[in-house]
A and B are shown apart, each in its own frame.
Chain A
Amino acid sequence: MLNTLQQAALLLLISSGLSVSMGLMGFANLAHGALYMLGAYIGIAVAAKAGFWAALLAAPLAVGLLGAALYLGLLARLRGPMQQVLASFGLVFIAVEVVRILWGDVALTLDRPALLSGSAAVLGVDYPIYRLFVILLGLVVGAGLWMGVHRSTLGAMLRASVENRGMARAIGIRTEALFLATFALGAALAGLGGAVAAPLYSANPGMAISALIPALIVTVIGGMGSITGAILGALIVAGIEVFGAALWPDASAVLIYAALAATLIWRPQGLLAVKARR
């Protein structure tokens, strides 16, 4: 149960970023896993010099800035989802090679900070404090995003811009700046996810690909552009992963994809889509 929650919180950290860029902006970003990977590596590098807490701050910042630069330099020029898929796929190749050149193929790990090491008794079980921290962080990010999208003026402006870009522009919303900020936020969340995941799982170049698929699944299952949906999707996918692995190990890998396929066929817009979209 706690494992499911922790897995869900981590998935949420990764996929909320994707839900923001893919769901809110309709941007199919295959490079999201690569941003997550960069977050982990930058986190490890910063932590080695300045400690874990600095890394937790620096990783999302650096990846967010990188996301902004990518958006300005490349992604904003693309038209249509297929171009986005292909160009971001190209970015995956580049990011993976850059990481291999800078850090090598060996998996790197990050030590947990002293404050969060050890374990605590929760509901009668000993549970590592760091994992509790991940759950908490997931909750905070989820709640913050939900507030930001659904309860703030900025969120309303963003939703309006996605709905009808021309109209939003006509009423004075600076859509380009808004999209830039949104994409950078999505990237920063991926970076944060990477840094948080680094002490739990080692960082390696393969994670650009391996993290992408669950994040995509969470986003599609939950419904693009819906933060509540992303939370629900993260819980479902984490539940399938954790319980499936325990109860029916042979089928757990298949089950996740089956859930994705079933969602796409039954409700292509996701379980909690903001609006019907083709």
Chain B
Amino acid sequence: MNWRRLLDHPSLALGLAATLAFALLGLASLIWTPYPIADIAISRRFLVPDASHLLGTDHLGRDMLSLIMAGTLTSFTVGAAAVAIGVGIGVPMGLVAAMWGGPVDWVAMRISDLAFAFPSVIIAILIATLIGPGATNAIIAIGIFNIPVFARVARGGALALSSLDFIGAARLAGLGKAAIAWRHILPNIMSLIIVQGTIQLSLGILAEAGLSYIGLGTQPPATSLGLMLRDAQSLFLIHPSLSLLPGLAIVLIVVALNIAGDGLRDALDPRLRRQELA
């Protein structure tokens, strides 16, 4: 995909730009935040936005802008790492299932069923209890949930392609199953995986928020958008901005990701469809 085609899809451009903006905001927190987020000063708490604290301060006197920057990074990291787990394990599983078929397919799909059948929140609670709550725990719990999703996408895509001529040709040319999967199937289902990836990323960010909200995700002194929501929840009627800001940030990030995902699908799909029709 080249850049000119990006301009043919204004929503894709918009979604990508917004996602990128948030990602950069988060990444920037690694180098610089207006105030250190572990810096607690009770005397400065609940300040309204002004020149020194652009978004005000929270219940511990921490700068809200700094927290949102750091929280955005955590949310992205958790979501992305969970997608990486899903893609890393799910896609090979789906491909193997589709290429080998028969008992292999059966076993792979049962493993995927198993991973799916475990309610992710309960997995998260159990992991949190075992290794202590934290971002890692959220990553694992959401990642496990992502595995069957990507396995099904990869398997479905591979099955749809396997009946097509060029795969048959590759088979006739004597290529092994692994090679076909790697060279011919994977590149062609990449768009499906990328699209699913953006969806799972946005779901992961929402899931992280939910887990942190019930106290199983990110733990202080680190922060995430979900943890900020949790901290601010009981103060909603007194200091609404403390919940509205992180809530809004979550909504905007997820919308940006979804728009980008939809745009990607629109931009990438025709190619896939043409091949299907060929």
- Same complex: no
Q: Which residues of B contact A (CB under 8 A)?
A: none
Q: Which residues of A contact B (CB under 8 A)?
A: none
